[in-house]
Amino acid sequence: MVSLYAASKKIYPRSVEGIFAYWRWIFVVLTQLVFYCLPWFEWGSRQAVLFDLGARRFYIFGLVLYPQDFIYLTGLLVISALALFLFTAVAGRLWCGFACPQTVYTEIFLWIERKIEGDRSARMRLDDGDFSLEKLVKKWYKHLIWIFFSIWTGFTFVGYFTPIRELAMEFFLTRMSSWELFWVFFYGFATYGNAGFMREQVCKYMCPYARFQSAMFDADTLIVTYDTERGEPRGPRSKKADVALENLGACVDCTLCVQVCPTGIDIRNGLQYECIGCGACADVCDTVMDKMGYPRGLVRFSTQNAMDNKWTPQQTWKRLMRPRIQIYTMILGAIVIALLVSLGLRTPFKVDVVRDRSTLSRITEYGTLENVYRLQIMNATEHAQTYKLSTRGLPGLKITTEKEILVEAAQARWVVLRADIPYGSSEAGSHKIQFEIAAQGTDDVVVEKSVFIVPR
Ligand code: SF4
Ligand code: SF4
């Protein structure tokens, strides 16, 4: 019997220092500072960034967005997708190696693990060793901190959808709603499971991005590469050995590049889909090269063309700005500018006019012909605002209900609007009319189209 199932082997990445490790930690700190601190910022009397799904309103600093502003979210998604294409075409899986939440949380969880259980060999010894009090204490301690951190992460996540200060109060008074509690623990559990246990398996088996990345690579994309020509034949040697005499390449076969790899691959076998481009192997190999007194860069970020044609770093960087990259950059720049301009020109209120379906048209006690509408005004500003209503499109058309509507800050209000014309002043049929809604004290005006029905 041949089993088709192979249990995955646990990976114990060795800690590493170097330029790429430094930048990875910069991104860990920056992204997490933003994630954990942002919901605590206030903007006036409300949370600065809040996605209030119940009230169907998104607050992003000075912006109040309604479901009608969905186009901006679409724009943001298009920008994110294009930015991903651009960065991948330039430098491969930059996002995966440096900013993806899976990488960032795995890095944090690994850091906690190292602080408690030690580096690679100590962790392997501890896992292989028999049960002991030390093992029990270390494991419990580690999981306790992981769980605390995960719940804090879940709590922060929910704090983007429910005011976080109220949520904190409810949490301490054990008065959280069942849904809030569910999402805190669900997101916390996902963090704990993905960063504590699944780790590289999420990248290898679950993330779709790893599958289509090769479609975005070309021979001028920066990838982590092993310089086979320089490194082979590999083999151990003393520091003083004459490599030419012993017919050896620069690789001392120390396997440190494999030991630091968070996905457990050997970069010397060439580019593999598991490689997340974190550069840990390049960092550790540079330290080995330094110790041996060899030039750095046996494992480095380079391109296929640069390796094949033995380009200098200047030639490689020059080639990076190829037409494809220029086109991506131009499209991305144009969409970003268009989004910013449209946000800048956005009217700070929205209006919806719908005809009252229960009354098509009726003759009033004053002998006029009346149509009834329902009008919704959404105030997207942070202060109460009065709106003046007027209408045009038919001779004698006028509004007979309230013409000035007060809407509280960041609120929406439905009002019934009646409009009439002198009886017999227009032919029977459906006539196009317009409602003009002007925010008092500003130049902001919205014109909404509708129809006025004159029966036969
Ligand atoms: S770290 Fe460098 S020298 Fe050591 S095995 Fe890897 S490629 Fe060879
Ligand atoms: S091969 Fe190197 S760059 Fe790729 S994931 Fe492993 S350590 Fe990171």
Can you tell me the distance from the alpha carbon of 99 to that of 80, in angstroms, rounded to the nearest whole number? 13
- The string of pLDDT tens digits covering residues 5-39 is 877 889 999 999 999 999 999 999 999 999 999 99
pLDDT at 224: 94
Q: Is the pLDDT of residue 354 over 80?
A: yes
When comparing pLDDT for 246 and 51, which is higher? 51
- The ligand minimizing its distance to the Cα of 227 is 1
The pLDDT of 225-232, averaged and rounded, is: 93
pLDDT at 409: 86
pLDDT at 57: 86
User: Which atom of ligand 2 is least distant from the CA of 282?
Assistant: 2
Q: Is the pLDDT of residue 419 over 80?
A: yes
Can you tell me the distance from the alpha carbon of 250 to that of 266, in angstroms, rounded to the nearest whole number? 16
Contact 160, 123 (CB under 8 A): no
Whether the CB of 261 sits within 6 Å of ligand 2:
yes
**Residue of the CA atom closest to atom 2 of ligand 1:** 285
Pocket of ligand 1 (CB under 6 A): 226, 231, 251-257, 268, 284-285, 288, 298-299
pLDDT at 375: 94
Q: Is the pLDDT of residue 70 over 90?
A: no
Copy the structure tokens of residue 446: 């919205």
Whose structure tokens read 């008092």? 440
The pLDDT of 77-102, averaged and rounded, is: 92
The pLDDT of 33-53, averaged and rounded, is: 93
Place 381 in a pLDDT band, splitting at 50, 70 and 90.
confident
The pLDDT of 106-117, averaged and rounded, is: 96
Q: Is the pLDDT of residue 93 over 80?
A: yes
Copy the structure tokens of residue 456: 């036969």
Q: Is the pLDDT of residue 382 over 90?
A: no
The pLDDT of 333-355, averaged and rounded, is: 92
pLDDT at 192: 97
When comparing pLDDT for 125 and 359, which is higher? 125
- The string of pLDDT tens digits covering residues 263-320 is 999 999 998 888 999 999 999 999 999 999 999 999 999 999 999 998 988 898 888 8
Whether the CB of 91 sits within 6 Å of ligand 2:
no
Please provide the distance, in angstroms rounded to a whole number, between the alpha carbons at the two ends of the chain: 86
- The string of pLDDT tens digits covering residues 395-411 is 999 999 999 999 998 88
The pLDDT of 235-243, averaged and rounded, is: 87
Distance 244 CA to ligand 1 centre (A): 18
Distance 284 CA to ligand 2 centre (A): 11
Whether the CB of 104 sits within 6 Å of ligand 2:
no
- Chain mean position to CA 261: 25
Q: Is the pLDDT of residue 212 over 80?
A: no
Q: Which of 16, 228, 232, 253 to mutate to test the pocket of ligand 1 (most atoms within 8 A of CB)?
A: 253
Q: Is the pLDDT of residue 55 over 90?
A: no
Q: Which of 288, 291, 296 to mutate to test the pocket of ligand 1 (most atoms within 8 A of CB)?
A: 288
Whether the CB of 21 sits within 6 Å of ligand 2:
no
pLDDT at 56: 85
Q: Is the pLDDT of residue 446 over 90?
A: yes
Lowest mean pLDDT among 15-24, 88-97, 152-161, 325-334: 88-97
Reference 404, options 379, 420, 426, 385; nearest CA is: 385
Length of the chain: 456
pLDDT at 234: 93
pLDDT at 321: 87
- Considering the chain, what is the average pLDDT of its residues? 92
Place 62 in a pLDDT band, splitting at 50, 70 and 90.
confident
Distance 12 CA to ligand 1 centre (A): 17
